[in-house]
Structure 1
Amino acid sequence: MRLDIEGLAADAGTARLLDDIRLTVDSGTFVGLVGPNGSGKSTLLRCVYRALRPAGGAVRLNGDDLHGMDARAAARLLAALPQESSAEFDFTVAEVVGMGRHPHRNRTAADDRAICAGAMDRTGVAHLADRGFLALSGGEKQRVLIARALAQRPQVLVLDEPTNHLDIAHQLDVLALVRASGLTVLAALHDLNLAAAHCDLLYVIADGRIVASGPPLDVLRPELLADVFGVRAHPVRHPVTGAVQLLFDLLPTTP
């Protein structure tokens, strides 16, 4: 399923947070959204997963306006993992993952259990099924929430900093799992090296506008990173995968 963002704008009071955002995620591809803190990444994703209504423009799934769909229909197509997720009640892990099945009307308990068990196996949290969600570590919670999104069986997955709280092994595992899922994926990623290694395309956002887009090797250029992130970058090739990786230091200060 193809995701198109067309001329999207978002406001907070009189301030414009996003302006004329245009972005495409082709079916089955993994697209990364990168940019400095406060650039608009989370605001853009909130518009995509319907937590925020845009001030202008449209979000389309295979040409259909996502914000024109009823909530249940939209949830059958698109699942999201926000940057901050909270729970007021101490549900078990199995119950949290099971919430991903709610958008589906024609389902059976046996099917739900099998789908949820598969999602927990894939994210490495099956052994936590009977544990209370609130007692988990940050990394465990993150993997449970990814399992919930997978249990939803969407066609489009929107992730806001999905590797937050994860150690490096689980960061690599989760992004490899997402990439292998075959879903259409749009993810905001803080770590540029993870973005370069796992994404088909990158969009760079700064001050609420897209300033660059393309394959990671074309986008992650030292001059752009100096301008957008304020760092000096030294691209190198990963010795095994050949993916571009970056070494960083501070820009030299002028006397």
Structure 2
Amino acid sequence: MRLDIDGLSVEVAGHRLVHDISLGAGSGRLVGLVGPNGSGKSTLLRCVYRALRPAAGSVRLDGEELHAMDAREGARLLAALPQEASTEFDFTVAEVVAMGRLPHQRGSGRARRTDTEVCERALARAGADHLAGRGFLSLSGGEKQRVLIARALAQEPAVLVLDEPTNHLDIAQQLEVLALVRDSRLTVLTALHDLNLAAVHCDELYVIAHGRIVASGPPYDVLTPELLAEVFGVRAHRVRHPESGAVQLLFDRLRRADAAPGACAPAPLPRPTQADPTAP
């Protein structure tokens, strides 16, 4: 399923936080949003999963306006994992994942055998089936994230929206979570803080600064030293990952001389060849 955002603007307490943003995520693509803290990434995503209403613009799934759908229909098509997803009560993992089936249940809302089987498959896909009987609050950060992704998968959505899914995770957990998201084969829109993770795992990137899209395209084309200096205020050196060939970044502080007109930029990497798996 294709996700399209057209001319989206968001106002909160009289302040415009997102300005006329348009972007698209093709079916089965993993599209990343990157930008400095406070740039508008989370605000944009809250509109996509309907926690906020936009001041202008639209969010469409295969051409259908998401905000015009009833809540149950929208939840069957799109699942979200907010940045600070929490469960206050100590439900078991199985109970947390079963909440993902609520949009598919009618009447009494009692789980059917089909619901139980879907939840079991979702836990297995997330590598969390061994946690089913554990209390959610007893889990580590990485385990909780796997369970919340399993809950989203149990919704059987076509589109998955993730806000900083690797937050507070160690490096192994970050890699595992993003591999899980990639393997889901869903249409995914995610905000990511780590530019190197975004470069490896995303098909396309949109860079947001001050509530506006300032660059978009494949990671190789977007993550240039010039853009990173302008948007993030850092001096970046581009290298190749020795196995995947993906562009990776090494950072220095941006000295005043680096930002001066005519300052020498690092030599560009050679363009990817056809054999390069990161080539667009």
Length-normalised TM-score, structure 2: 0.88
Specify the code of the residue in structure 2 equivalent to 1:61: L
Per-residue deviation, 1:124: 2.0
Paired with 2:180 and 2:49, the residues of 1 have a C-alpha distance of: 21
- What do the CA deviations read for 1:151-210 (whole angstroms, capped 9, x no partner)? 111000000001112222221122112112111000000000000001000000000000
Identical counterparts, % of pairs: 74
What does 1:119-138 correspond to in 2, within 5 Å?
A: 119-138=122-141
Per-residue deviation, 1:244: 0.5
2:150 matched to which residue of 1?
Answer: 147
1:50 matched to which residue of 2?
Answer: 50
Paired with 1:28 and 1:218, the residues of 2 have a C-alpha distance of: 21
2:71 matched to which residue of 1?
Answer: 71
Paired with 1:73 and 1:220, the residues of 2 have a C-alpha distance of: 37
Paired with 1:154 and 1:165, the residues of 2 have a C-alpha distance of: 25
**Is the aligned partner of 1:209 residue 2:212?**
yes
Paired with 1:143 and 1:28, the residues of 2 have a C-alpha distance of: 20
Partner secondary structure for residue 51 of structure 1: coil
**Structure 1 stretches of at least 4 aligned residues deviating more than 3 Å after TM superposition:** 105-108
Structure 1 residues 121, 154: CA separation in 2 closer, same or farther (over 3 Å shift)? same
Per-residue deviation, 1:139: 2.0
Paired with 1:29 and 1:126, the residues of 2 have a C-alpha distance of: 26
What stretches of structure 1 of length at least 5 have no aligned partner? none
What does 1:104-253 correspond to in 2, within 5 Å?
A: 104-105=104-105, 109-253=112-256
* Residue pair 1:142, 1:165 contacting (<8 A) in 2 also: no
What stretches of structure 2 of length at least 5 have no aligned partner? 258-280
Partner secondary structure for residue 104 of structure 2: coil
Paired with 2:98 and 2:170, the residues of 1 have a C-alpha distance of: 25
* Residue pair 1:18, 1:209 contacting (<8 A) in 2 also: yes
* Residue pair 1:30, 1:201 contacting (<8 A) in 2 also: yes
Per-residue deviation, 1:108: 6.0
> For this pair of structures, how many residues does the alignment match?
254
**Is the aligned partner of 1:99 residue 2:99?**
yes
- What do the CA deviations read for 1:24-70 (whole angstroms, capped 9, x no partner)? 00111000000000000000000000000001100000111100000
CA radius of gyration, larger in: 2
1:90 matched to which residue of 2?
Answer: 90
Partner secondary structure for residue 165 of structure 2: coil
**Is the aligned partner of 1:41 residue 2:23?**
no
Paired with 1:17 and 1:232, the residues of 2 have a C-alpha distance of: 27
C-alpha RMSD of the superposition: 1.3
2:273 matched to which residue of 1?
Answer: none
Per-residue deviation, 1:126: 1.5
Paired with 2:76 and 2:34, the residues of 1 have a C-alpha distance of: 27
Length-normalised TM-score, structure 1: 0.96
